[in-house]
Amino acid sequence: MPETKAAAPLEIYRILPRNNCGKCLLPSCLAFAAAVAAGQKKLCDCPDISPALLAKMAGICRKPVASEIEQAGFVDKLQRRVTALDLAAIAPVIGAVYRDNGLVVNSLGKDFIVDARGNLNSECHLIPWVQIPLLAYITNKTHGEITGSWISFREIKGGIDWQGLFTSRCETPLRKLADANPALLEDLIDLFMGQAIDWYQADIALILHPLPHIPILICYQAPEEDMESALTIFFDRCCGQNLHIKAIFTLCSGLVQMFTKIAERHLFS
């Protein structure tokens, strides 16, 4: 018999009411999702789950790997930090809009809504890798305006320690993706409200805003004769002030994964 695909904590969390009502005797819906995935709770312990949904989800919960438990716990921690914030006061500081007791934060041209409990909703499909960087951005203790001064990843505080992983998970796969899909980077300008620039010597250079005050600059040089292609991702100097280096890495890694899926869809279409 084939093994049934197991659900991770965030998969379970997405089907919950996400109202943190406490009826399950846990502090939040995310904590409940992690407990269900670990086998410490059952979905039926949530009184708001319908019988039809219980039947659909039956048998797909398993003990999560350590990284999933850590991720779910970190999201829960960030959500609790959001509850302590004055969202109306921080909205203009972080480039967001305060509306209906929540924050509207634009990411790549799409609006993401964060309510007073730290729950995330969007006008489009929710992108899993956005959640932690976005909540970390909102709850970051310091915040600076965009400077227009560009630096490499290793120049950001803590970047040297993450440089090897950033190169292998972000810059190198994106370079190979651009090599195989010459029109991809230009397409990103239209898809995600990017800005093409001409002051950097490269075949294509564009600025994207994954978060309001986290602009990134992607510079790509196509291969020529015996020369390999080159791609570098730069960051506005304010990025290190507005987001922890780990969250910046998570954000960029998620971007590359999303770009890869976009390229695959274009290839098959």
- Model pLDDT, residue 49: 83
Residue 22 forms part of a structural domain: yes
* Domain closes at, from 120, 139, 158: 139
Q: Which of 1, 10, 7 is nearest to 60 (CA)?
A: 7
Look at residue 144 and tell me if it is in a domain. no
Closest CA to 161 of 83, 40, 244, 235: 244
User: Phi first, then psi: what are they for 80, rounded to 5°?
Assistant: -65, -30
- How far is Cα 269 from Cα 67, in angstroms, rounded to an integer? 35
Does residue 178 share a domain with residue 260?
yes
Say yes or no: 154 and 133 in one domain. Answer: no
Q: How far apart are CA 208 and CA 253, in angstroms?
A: 14
Return the sign of the alpha-carbon dihedral for residues 112, 115, 121, 122. Answer: negative
- The letter for the amino acid at 200 is Y
The string over 32-51, giving b where at least 16 C-beta atoms fall within 10 Å of a residue's C-beta and e elsewhere, is bbbbbbbeebebeebeebee
Of 62, 81, 100, which one is at a domain's C-terminal end? Answer: 81
Cβ neighbors of 110 (< 8 A, separation 6 or more) are 122, 123, 124
Give the end-to-end CA distance of the chain in Å, rounded to a whole number: 34
76 and 89 assigned to the same domain: no
Which position has the token pair 């438990």?
Answer: 69
pLDDT of amino acid 59: 55
Structural domains in the chain (count): 3
Per-residue pLDDT of the chain (269 residues; tens, 9 = 90+): 333 345 677 778 888 888 888 888 777 888 888 878 777 777 888 888 877 777 766 655 545 555 555 677 788 899 999 999 999 999 999 999 999 999 999 999 999 999 999 998 887 665 667 889 999 999 999 999 999 999 999 999 999 999 999 999 999 999 999 999 989 999 999 999 999 999 998 999 999 999 999 999 999 999 998 899 999 999 999 999 999 999 999 999 999 999 998 888 765 44
Domain that holds residue 32: 9-81
- Indicate whether 1 belongs to any domain: no
Instruction: Please tell me the predicted confidence (pLDDT) of residue 58.
Output: 61
| Same domain for 177 and 109 | no
User: Both 216 and 168 in a single domain?
Assistant: yes
Helix (H, G, I), strand (E, B) or coil at 266: helix
Q: Is 216 inside a domain boundary?
A: yes
Q: Are residues 76 and 87 in the same domain?
A: no
- Select from 118, 139, 160 the last residue of a domain: 139
CA separation for the pair 82, 114 (Å, rounded): 9
Whether 177 and 258 share a structural domain: yes
Secondary structure element (H or E) that encloses residue 139, with its range: helix 128-139
d(CA 89, CA 91) in angstroms, rounded, equals 6
Residues 117 and 56 in one domain: no
Domain annotation covers residue 2: no
Instruction: Identify whether 169 is part of a domain.
Output: yes
Model pLDDT for residues 21-60, shown as the tens digit of each residue = 888 877 788 888 887 877 777 788 888 887 777 776 665 5
Q: How far apart are CA 224 and CA 228, in angstroms?
A: 7
Could you tell me if 44 and 102 lie in one domain? no
Report the CATH number at residue 65: 1.10.15.40
Same domain, 178 and 251: yes
Tally of CB atoms within 10 A around 70? 12
Residue 3 falls inside a structural domain: no
Q: Report angle CA 41, 43, 49 to the nearest 5 degrees.
A: 145
Question: Does 45 share its domain with 95?
Answer: no
State whether 130 and 198 are in the same domain.
Answer: no
Q: Please give the C-alpha separations between residue 260 and each of 124, 184, 186, 217, 264, in angstroms, as whole numbers.
A: 19, 10, 14, 18, 6
Per the domain annotation, does 204 fall within a domain? yes
Contact 236, 149 (CB under 8 A): yes
